Each structure stands twice: as C-alpha cells, then as structure tokens.
Structure 1
C-alpha cells in the first residue's frame, strides 16, 4: 500500500511541476472583491470546484456555485470559473457559453487547452493531469479515470486561494471567522 501512495504522490508532483506560474497569476488576477464570482463544475472536479468556492467565501469574496438554489442570475462584469478536466462537460460548456453571452469574463480550469471550454475562455489555467478520456501515451497515471486531474486541481486551487489571501491581506484568523 505504501508503494501505491508513493506512486500517487510522484504523479501529483509531476503534474504540479508542469502548472505554469504565469497562468496561476493571470487566473488569480481576475479575482477581486468588487466582482461576483460564479464557479461551475461537475462530478469529482465539481466537488473540488465547490471546495474552491467555499474557500473564496472564507476569503470574503462574493461567490456562488452554479446550480445551487441561492445562486442569482449572472450579470455583465461578473466572473465565471468553469472547471472541466476534459473541457467537454456539456453542462459546464453550455453555462460558459451563457456567461460569455451575458458579458462575463470566463476562466477555464482544464487539462485540455484546445477543448470547447477553453475556446470560450478569456483565461485558461491548465492542469496537465490525466483525465478519463486519456488513453495510450496520453494516459500518464496508474489511477482510475480523472483522479490525477482532480487531486492536482484541489491543490492548485488551494494554492490560488493562498496567494489571494496574501495579496488581499486575509490572515488565517480572519478566514476562520467566516467559517461556519
């Protein structure tokens, strides 16, 4: 079992080393307290996206997860963050199209920079972890489906939040005060 954990750790490390710092900075640069942020994702990637949404709330951003009952209508000037490893998740792509039509900045977090989702995006944050459609030489993981992408996604989005907390001068005790 320890060998499997070491292999997973090595895979995650390999992916994180390939995430471009300038892409993370550009992505974080789009997020400001004066803008409402809408986050979207499905499946396991969606769970990581929800965790990211929660952490942005802890940092005192006005943020909503698409599809929740309290999510208001999007308006021009808002920011839309779409998470899809394949970049083909139909609901996420449709929501990104709607956001684009309404005048939102669209940020895509994906493994596939040439995907339908990425083509809609103003900013792309590529996380080069294996996703479920990868096969043959593209498949660079011992793990099932999109596990490597999802694990790396969680870490990268947490790193973005850490950068935002430092940029916005939000200390841990301040973030804790917003926690349920």
Structure 2
C-alpha cells in the first residue's frame, strides 16, 4: 500500500471517531456573528491561520493571535485554540488571559484532560509524544493531529454555511492582491 493511501486511511479513522456533539458545537459556534480569534503554535498555528482565512471568506470577522493588527479580545468574542497537547506554554498563557476576560474559549486538542476545563473538540489522533492510547501512524511528529484538525475545522465551516454562501460569494472575499 502506498504512503498516500495509508495516510488517507488514518485520516478516515481519526476523523470518523470524533464525538458528534462536540463537532456540532463547533458548527453552531461558526454560525454565530462574533469576532473570532485563532491561536496555535508550530504547524497547529499554520492550521489555525488557514482556518481563520477560510472563516473570514465565509463572512466572519477573524483575527490571528500574534499578528500586529489583532485587537484586544473581549468577553463577547470567541477564542479558538488548536493544540495537540493542550499544554504548550504559550497556549496556556493565552487560555489564561482569555479566561480572565471571560471570552468564549473553544479548544481543538488530543488532550481530554484539558477539555474538563474548556469546551472543545477532542481529536483522537497521534501527537509527537506518542502517548499510550494514541492511534498508530506512519507519519512523523504531530502530522496526524494537524491534518485531522484542518479537515474537521474546514468541514465545520462548510456545515455552518447551510449553503448560504456559494463559491462565487466566497471568492468575493478572497484576496485580490495576488
């Protein structure tokens, strides 16, 4: 079996083993007219930026933590954090700061313990730590988690649109300075 086929099988296993109620909460969150702030470190941060961009294309107001034009977060905003471990020092700092403000926090992670504190989506994927109970993978480091997060968050945005926005409408919000 080739590498791409193996990765696709892994993604199918991981993405079909999430909890429907957690996924539905994410879809409902994306339907709300709020300001969305995204955060993540490393590759998870790149996924956060990709999802932030797509959510902006859907008509939402979106910011990425750490960018110079990102305003102060407020209680009425949503913070979406992508972190495989849920324990990255900068992630914990951001979660604590947003908690003090009273911001709605949604965490995408493999760490069920963190979801005892925060609302979120548990992705049953392998991380770079290869902890007991994580699925097997042929992929290095946190690839499996990051790919699953990208697929699931993109799908949640699509499901949040209820076919209200067609491709042509989303293209209007796509960068035209390329």
Same fold (TM over 0.5): yes
Measure the CA separation in 2 of the matches of 1:85 and 1:62: 25
Could you list the runs of 5+ residues in structure 2 that have no partner in the other structure? none
Greater mean deviation of Cα atoms: 137-146 or 65-74: 137-146
Show the counterpart of 1:132.
Answer: 128
Report the counterpart of residue 61 of structure 2 in structure 1.
62
2:139 corresponds in structure 1 to 143
User: How many residues matched?
Assistant: 175
CA RMSD of aligned residues (A): 1.5
Q: 1:111 to 1:88 in 2, by over 3 A?
A: same
**Post-superposition offset of 1:61:** 0.4
Aligned to 1:46: 45
Secondary structure of the structure 1 residue equivalent to 2:2 = helix
1:171 pairs, out of 166, 171, 175, with 166
TM (norm. structure 2) is 0.92
Distance 2:16 2:152 in 1: 11
CA distance in 2 between partners of 1:98 and 1:146 (Å): 26
User: Normalized against structure 1, the TM-score is what?
Assistant: 0.91
Q: Which residue of 2 aligns with 1:153?
A: 149
Distance in 1 separating the partners of 2:133 and 2:111: 15
Q: Does 1:97 align with 2:92?
A: no
Tell me the alpha carbon deviations over residues 37-57 of structure 1, each in whole angstroms, 9 at most, x when there is no partner: 111001111111100000010
Using the alignment, how far apart are the partners of 1:79 and 1:86 within structure 2?
A: 20
CA distance in 1, matches of 2:103, 2:148: 26
1:120-147 deviation line (CA, Å, top 9, x unaligned): 41x2111111011124553511111101
Per the alignment, do residues 101 and 157 of structure 1 end up closer, same or farther by CA in structure 2, a change over 3 Å counting?
Answer: same
Q: Is the 8 A contact 1:46 1:83 kept in 2?
A: yes
- In structure 1, what is the Cα distance between the partners aligned to 2:133 and 2:107? 24
